[in-house]
Amino acid sequence: MTKFPIAVFLVLAVVLAGTACSEGDTNVMTGPQETAGLQVSGHGEVQAQPDTAFINLGVQVTAKNVAEARDSAAKAADAVISSLKKNGVDEKDIKTTNYSIQPQYVYDKNGGEPRITGYTITNTVEAKIRKLDSLSKAIDDATLAGGDNARFQGVRFDIENNEKLLEQAREAAMKNAKAKADQLAKLGGVTLGKPISISETQSSNPPPELAETAYAPATGRQATPIQPGTGSVTVDVVVRWGIGN
């Protein structure tokens, strides 16, 4: 009787085990059970006034040919941008968000081919206003600079300097989570231990954006009232505590 080394039988066993599984089989490996403990969520929110505004405005010009429309639009847009800069808006805080050239058509009632009657050029920029006390003047001066071609397409607010607010919201969220955990531990007849894990999500909720609107220059030079409202900074946490008897 021929004797085979033990190592040969081990190799054969591995090969045979591999061939026993068909190509579509899935092997599931179970890991350790989820860490025991008491898990709760906490929410913290701090109200604050916005410190930054973003305005979208520009010009729209219609003329018989592209060259004429482009020239008029360029002059009007340059006047709008120059006005923003004079009101303290830095060049890096002004960016073009839309530039388009669209033909204007007249459609034949009898179903014939549409005829081009002119071209409309739209040039829109977004400007970041860091000093909200100058917001109304910046809007008024820019739209007046654009004349009848001026278009105002909305304003939105944001809270950029929010580090202190986040700290306050985070503290409130942890207090909220701890209060829930203490109550649950008491109701469950257990002792609350130290936190095992903590996760956080945060967000800022500025006031709703003002609706898009066309703008015609005001003749009385009365300042346009703009109300930034109140926004909020929120932090949500999920905390797992260890528990004892």
**Closest to 140 (Cα-Cα) out of 80, 209, 85:** 80
**pLDDT-derived band at 173, boundaries 50, 70, 90:** very high
Amino acid 32: pLDDT: 42
pLDDT digit string (tens) for 26-83? 222 223 444 678 999 999 999 999 999 999 999 999 999 999 999 999 999 999 999 9
Q: pLDDT tens for residues 108-147?
A: 887 778 899 999 999 999 999 999 999 999 999 999 999 9
Domain annotation for the chain: domains and CATH numbers: 36-50+160-209+219-245 (3.30.110.170), 52-158 (3.30.70.2970)
What is the distance between the alpha carbons of residues 87 and 134, in angstroms, rounded to a whole number? 7
Distances (CA, A) of 174 to 111, 168, 169, 222, 237: 69, 10, 9, 48, 7
**Of 116 and 219, the one with more pLDDT:** 116
- pLDDT of 16 above 80: no
Residue entry with tokens 């257990």: 190
Instruction: Enumerate helices (H) and strands (E) in the chain, giving the number of each.
Output: 4, 8
Dihedral angle sign, alpha carbons of residues 126, 129, 132, 134 = negative
Is the pLDDT score of 238 beyond 60?
A: yes
Tokens of 88: 């303290």
